[in-house]
Structures are given as C-alpha cells and as structure tokens.
Structure 1
Amino acid sequence: MSRRGWILFGAMCVVWGIPYLLIKVAVREIGPAELVFLRTALGAVLLLPIALARRELRASLRPWLPLLVYTVVEIGLPWLLLSDAERHVDSSFTGLVIAGVPLVAAVIARLANRDERLTAARVGGLLVGFAGVALLLGFHAAAGGAVPMLELGGVVVCYATGPLIIERWLSSVPRYGVAAASLIVGALMFTPVAGPNLPDLARHVTLRPLLAALALAVVCTALAFVLFFALIAEVGGVRATVITFVNPAVAVVLGAVVLGEDVTLLTGVAFALILAGSVLATRRRAPDPEPAPEPVAAA
C-alpha cells in the first residue's frame, strides 16, 4: 500500500478500536437508548453537509426499504445491544467477541450464495474461530451473565449481516448518502425513547461520560465513515476489511491500560484462535492465471 494507505489504515484501526472503551465509560451515566440517539444524531449532523455537498443524499433515499433494514441491522439494534451489554462486561471482552464477525459473515455468505465455496481450509478456520469464541464466552458467562452474552451474539450477527445488505441492495448507492441517511433514520428511530429523558440527562451527566459520548459521535462515527471511505478509495474494499482483525487488539490494550481490565492468558489464547480462524475462513482463493495469448504470425 501507499504511505497514505498505511496512514489511513492505522487511523481506522484506532478509530474503530476505541468505541468499546468509550461506550464502557459513557453507559456509566447515559442509558443505552440515549447513547445511541446522541451518537446517531450528532453523527448525522456532521455527515449530512458532506452528503448534500456531494449530492448523494437523494439517491440514497430511493431504495428506502433496504436502507431502513440496513439501519436497523447495522446501526440501531447492534449499537443498542452493545451499549446495554457493556454495562455488565469489560470493553476488552466485548472487542474480542466482535472479532468473531468475519466468522459469522463467512457462514452467512455461504447460506446466501451457493457459489461461495467452503473449502477445507475455510471450514477449518470456522471451527478454530468458533472454538475461540466459545472459549471466551464460556469463561466469561458466569461473571457477566447470560443476557450480555446473548446481546453480544446478536451484535456479531448484525454486523455480519449489514455488509450483505449493502452488497445486495445498496451497492450502487453513494456511500456518504447511505451513511448520512442511515444515521438520520437511526436518530429518528430512537427519538421517541430517548427524547423525553434528554433534559434530565443534561442536568445530571458528568463530564467524562459526556465527552465519551461526544467522541463516539464525532470520532468513531462521523470521522470514521470519512476515513473508511477514503481507505476504500485508496486500497480497495478487500484490503480495507483487514482492520477487522486489528480492532480487537486495540480494544484489549485500551481496556487494560485505561480502565485496568484484566487480560489473562486465556484471553490471549481465545483471541489467537479467533484471529487465526477469521483469516482462514475469509481467505479468498487466488484467481486462476489467465491463459497466455496465442502467438500471432508476422505479416
């Protein structure tokens, strides 16, 4: 990759590695629904001018039903489940569970597309990766309870399904238009629930959770979309998805350093299994070499 590509890649690894830490801090005083509303509303305010300037918003609203489903699956439901789960489990643990997204995405891709081959290496990768997830969930289930584990499982399924919706029904829709429109729809969805609680929240929330919520909206949502689209344009969509394998490591390090969360040997083993399984399960087969051109006789 170019130097610009590496810079964008490093920035994205950090920007999408810190939400788990910020969510953990924010939900100490801000409810899950209110936090999702703040994140979507502020993110929409920042991205809407870009989408309007690029004249991409109107085009994104035409496929309104896929856009609505994408908003629920990729933003509304997972962000709510994630925020509620982190009231009970560590941010580093959350980041490691989310590392299982490529594994579930590989299974969903196979179910949705019969032409998507499951080679022996990919099947082995799925088994290894899911073994790591099972080890992680089993070890932490007693401490966090069953409900947060189920919520995180729902987040993984949602995050694995969202890109499929984009690929199937929104691939021709401009990216900034989809991002801005989905955040607007997400904010509208949570307004009836979060709106009545905002005045009381404004009076009682302290500075640290408030700053965490603002950072989620500005850095991990609006700025993240801008950087990710720039990364895709620079290195391509396939290489851009490699950040999925790095984000959990960032989440673990930040959770340990900033919040003092425990990182055990078992955590490292589980992460290694999930990472190795994800790489194997999502690895594409090298394309067959093109045949050499037939020699042309001189005239």
Structure 2
Amino acid sequence: MTSQKTLTPRTWYELILLGVIWGMSFLAIRIALDTIPVITSVFHRVFWAALVLWIVIAFQRLPIPRSPRIWAIFLIMGLLNNVLPFSLMAWGQLYVETGLTSILNAATAIFGVLLAALFFRDERLTKTRILGVGLGFLGVSITIGLRQFGNLNPDNLGQIAILAGTLSYAFAAIWARIYMGDLSPKVAAAGMLTGSAILMTPIMLVTDGIPTLALPLETWLAIAYYALLATAGAYLLYYRVLQQAGSGNVLLVTLIIPPIAILMGAIVRNEALPARAFVGFAVLAVGLLILSRSRRRD
C-alpha cells in the first residue's frame, strides 16, 4: 500500500484540480455523445490519450517495455480499466444525467475496498471499513432509488451499466497492484491505453465503421478535453498526487468530482437531479470519508 503522507497546500491544490478536471469530463463526454456513437467516443478517448503519453515518454526518454508478457498485461488492464468501464459508463450517460453518473462513479472506491479485502491479506475489512462500505452502498441505493428497479427501463439500465463500469475499475485496481507495480506510472498508463486502443479499433469498425473527421467544433473540443486533459493529463496528475498524498488521501478526489459534474450539468444542459440523489451522495460521502481515514491510519 502507498504510504500515507500529510496533505500540503500544493497537494491540496493538485487534488482539487484533479477532481475538477474529472468532474468536468462527464459533461464533455455527454456533449460528444450528441454527435458520435458510444464506441467511437471511447476510441477517441484512448487513442489520443495514448498518443500524448507516448510523446511524453519519448521526450523523457523512458524505457519502453518489449516483453510480450508485459504487453499482454497491458491489454487486460486496458480491458478492465478503459474498454469496459468507459463503454459502459458512456452508454449509461445516454440515459443518465451527468451529475448522477458522477455520483454513481464514486462507488468505485466502495467496490475497491471489498475486492482488495478478498485478494490481499493487508487489506482486511476492519469494523471501520465495514461501516464505510455499508454507508457507501446505502448512499448508492438511496441515489438510484431501488424501488424503481421493478420495471427495467433505459434509465435504470443506464444506472446499472454505470455501476458495472465502477466494478470493472475496481478489478482493474487489483490487476494493476498484482502485475503492474514495478512499472513506471507513465509507461503503465501509456501501455494500458495503447492496449485499449488495440481492443477498441476492431469493435469500432464493426459497430460504427470508420470514424469521420467531419465533426462539429464543439464535438472536437469535447473529445480534446476528455481525451487529452481528463485522461492523459489526469493520469499524470493522479500518479503525482498519489505519490505525494498516499492512497487514503487520494480517495478524497471522489468527493470533489460530483459537485463539479452536477454544477456543469445544470449550467450547460439544464439537468435537475431528484432530491434522493443529493441525500444519497451525502450518505455516500460520509462512507468515503470513513474509508479515507481508515486507509490513512493503516
């Protein structure tokens, strides 16, 4: 586990900046989905982000892995951390508000704690963590309104898809800890995104065909934001914050993302979330704060 450290003013600034970048990404993705299909939107995200990271790696002259085993690991990591969650969550956003998507996205941390306890001896479920996980799931349940799932409509299926994406993120974290711990974060991120692009290309060609470049400027700006800034740039910033703040403190970013996404969705797309979404997020936030404190003490 990453050792825990005190949050300096600079680290707080970078943590908040990361939350703002990721919070605005939900709006950018939704804007792009107005004119391009889901699979194509994901392809753009992983392809351009990988290209940017390889440019950074070349500039810094970092060693590039050549082992087929490592590239197989990249492919699986790309599947778990990009292909599945990006696709599921983008499809879900066709039916779910951007703000609500960001709240459900916070379930990644809850699933992550549970899976870590199953796979790693040093990630046991203490009473404090059980309380945090319990409150987290209660918050998610309040947010989605379980009584609505008696009738599976597109809105409900969208929420299920988003939660499935967060579960995939959690499995990706397990995979990364087991197989990618010795790699440079920049190389690991570039390799993972490259693996994702390799997997997404044939899927896109079959489902959507060759992507057109004749897109509105608004769409290209949205793609540029979520691919270059919210994926490539955010990965670089995330690993920097993780190194400085530790894994417990970096969980706090999940509390920053939803307010930004909710605000941007309301301003740009006139989205209004039901009251239960805010109550659910409040309960979920308490659970995440408990988990953050428990990880800082370990």
Letter in 1 for 2:71: W
Which structure has the greater CA radius of gyration?
1
TM-score by length of 2: 0.87
Structure 2 counterpart of 1:33, from 39, 44, 56: 39
Deviations 1:98-123 (A, max 9, x none): 11111111111111124533233322
Deviations 1:58-100 (A, max 9, x none): 2786523332211100011100111111111111110010111
2:173 is aligned with 1:166: no
2:54 is aligned with 1:48: yes
Matched ranges for 1:274-289 at <5 A: 274-282=284-292, 283-284=294-295, 286=297
Change in CA separation of 1:8 and 1:281 when aligned onto 2, cut-off 3 Å: closer
- 1:19 Cα shift? 1.5
- 1:22 Cα shift? 1.0
Structure 1 counterpart of 2:19, from 8, 13, 21: 13
Partner of 1:294: none
Matched ranges for 1:176-195 at <5 A: 176-195=186-205
For the residues of structure 2 that align with 1:256 and 1:61, how far apart are their CA atoms?
Answer: 47
Letter in 2 for 1:18: M
For the residues of structure 2 that align with 1:210 and 1:27, how far apart are their CA atoms?
Answer: 11
Structure 2 counterpart of 1:218, from 191, 210, 228: 228
Query: When the two structures are aligned, how many residues end up with a matched partner?
Result: 286
Asked if the contact 1:59/1:173 (under 8 Å) is kept, the reply is no
Asked if the contact 2:80/2:171 (under 8 Å) is kept, the reply is yes
- 1:159 Cα shift? 1.4
What is the aligned-residue identity percentage? 24
Matched ranges for 1:1-299 at <5 A: 1-52=7-58, 53-58=60-65, 62-138=69-145, 144-195=154-205, 197=208, 201-203=212-214, 205-282=215-292, 283-284=294-295, 286=297
- 1:264 Cα shift? 3.5
Asked if the contact 2:74/2:192 (under 8 Å) is kept, the reply is yes
Q: Any gaps of 5 or more consecutive residues in structure 1?
A: 288-299
Change in CA separation of 1:200 and 1:12 when aligned onto 2, cut-off 3 Å: closer
- 1:146 Cα shift? 3.5
- 1:198 Cα shift? 6.2
For the residues of structure 1 that align with 2:248 and 2:295, how far apart are their CA atoms?
Answer: 10
Deviations 1:239-270 (A, max 9, x none): 23321222122211211222211133322110
What secondary structure does 2:23 align onto?
coil
Letter in 2 for 1:129: G
Asked if the contact 1:73/1:162 (under 8 Å) is kept, the reply is yes
Change in CA separation of 1:265 and 1:222 when aligned onto 2, cut-off 3 Å: same
Deviations 1:18-68 (A, max 9, x none): 121111111111111101111111111111022233324227865233322
For the residues of structure 1 that align with 2:186 and 2:63, how far apart are their CA atoms?
Answer: 7
85-94 or 44-53, larger mean C-alpha shift: 44-53
Change in CA separation of 1:115 and 1:227 when aligned onto 2, cut-off 3 Å: closer
For the residues of structure 2 that align with 1:179 and 1:167, how far apart are their CA atoms?
Answer: 13
Asked if the contact 2:26/2:261 (under 8 Å) is kept, the reply is yes
